[in-house]
Amino acid sequence: MVFGAAKKLCSTKGEEQEAGKKEFLETLKTLEVELGDKPYFGVDTFWYVDLSFITFYCWFHAYEVLGNINIEAECPKIIVWAKRCMQKEAVAVTLPDQKKVYEEHAARLRKMFVSE
């Protein structure tokens, strides 16, 4: 769900990218509703759903740059949740820096998929 929408967002342009942008943000908003006011998905502690979804956080900067979106403005609870997850040492030392992901991977992938 998240991956497919993110791929459309980053690897297309024009109307297709706009559709991908809409799908991606709708997906995040659905997750935001599921999160509600809880600190983590499903329970009060970091759990397997959090572990699965937090891996996308390192790509958020790339999604914002390539898709011309502002995730924090559109889905503030997701960003608060992600920052909470990043306070966990195991998560913080495992996930790469968002800007490095963009610099090393996302721009290259965009060039591969989208001809200017």
Please, which pLDDT band fits residue 15 given cuts at 50, 70 and 90? very high
Nearest to 58 by CA among 100, 6, 5, 98: 98
For residue 115, pLDDT beyond 60 = no
The CA-atom distances, in angstroms, between 40 and each of 44, 50, 74 are: 6, 7, 19
pLDDT tens digits for range 4-14: 888 888 788 88
Please, which pLDDT band fits residue 89 given cuts at 50, 70 and 90? very high
d(CA 1, CA 72) in angstroms, rounded, equals 19
Report domain extents, the chain: 2-113
HSE (side-chain half, CA atoms, 13 Å) at 46: 15
Q: What angle do CA 38, 57, 99 make, to 5 degrees?
A: 145
Predicted pLDDT at 66: 86
CATH number for the domain running over 2-113:
1.20.1050.10
pLDDT tens digits for range 20-70: 999 999 999 999 999 999 999 978 899 999 999 999 999 999 999 888 999
pTM: 0.88
